[in-house]
Structure 1
């Protein structure tokens, strides 16, 4: 038996539940460090074509976040594509061409410089889900809102990734240029990705060359956070 663990039997399978010798307090140092990471993660647009960590470390982070981010029924339909170098630049060339073709001139005039900034950063992470993986779950449970749950899973995967990159000294921002007609299809065609993959977001990242913009906060207690019941 593993020290500090207790063994149980469930349906013929043994599993071990760890015993924690340290009881968390209201001033838990572990939680505080996590909350600091959440607070420090901000949208950064001023990014250099540099990274604070190696590509292998980025790959390790993406491996861990996609492995441990939850999904409904543990369907594991999330997919990630990491674009670096000329592939990263190609993505934002595609976005620029698509925006110029589909958007009014005044709107493109506003987005054009932003697109150039994305292209000038270090890399992009594309977030997808795989419809083929989801199909048997939808067929088996036709009344379940799997598309909504997949959106939740995507959000958790993206924020876990974003937090981890920020802790390594990288800045990032999340974009959704898949709203442009044809953009997602050109992306799948260019990198020969499955037609069953649905594009959700593009996370642009690099070494920060400037800080985030100002941010204000509404009142929390009584407006954004409501508590009912015994507050013991």
Structure 2
């Protein structure tokens, strides 16, 4: 019971801090995920482009950010991107001094990593649909945007969902890395609590329960989305 009191709210416990940290963790994941999905499609499109320069850039992008550890990417973005932005800004405004927000750096770093992984998911999904669908839609007189959004994308999405669901779980766990750049997420607050209370096993166990619960809830949502996507696909047939 004494340990459970450490999770109470107010000055006597760490419940409110952990709740704030959970909010930051979820916010980082929910902000990053849409950007990562959009960039996944853009990079996958670049890989299939008829332009050599665009194909080369997209393949290098995927190779680099799939190879670098997420932690290293985060550190490079937080420190070096900020320096680069200041160098460019000072070309126009000599006295400029721009500070990159740590949360924003986390979003950028995780977006780069997971869009590189997601681009392979999108490419595989497009191959699973096949060019025959596009050719058939074109024969019916549909324009290219209509072909993609009304014919190809719904079928691709059904193939993408399982892999994107796995990437979402990895993203949830990798948000813990942002604590290293002083973002007050769930892990950072837990480490602060441990430093104060000297109860590492208890707070790490609480973290484990929270992450497992998030994974379970995400799995339930993913199952619903997959059923809906399959139902929509069968309805379209």
TM-score of the superposed pair, with normalisation by structure 2? 0.26
TM-score of the superposed pair, with normalisation by structure 1? 0.26
Higher helix share: 2
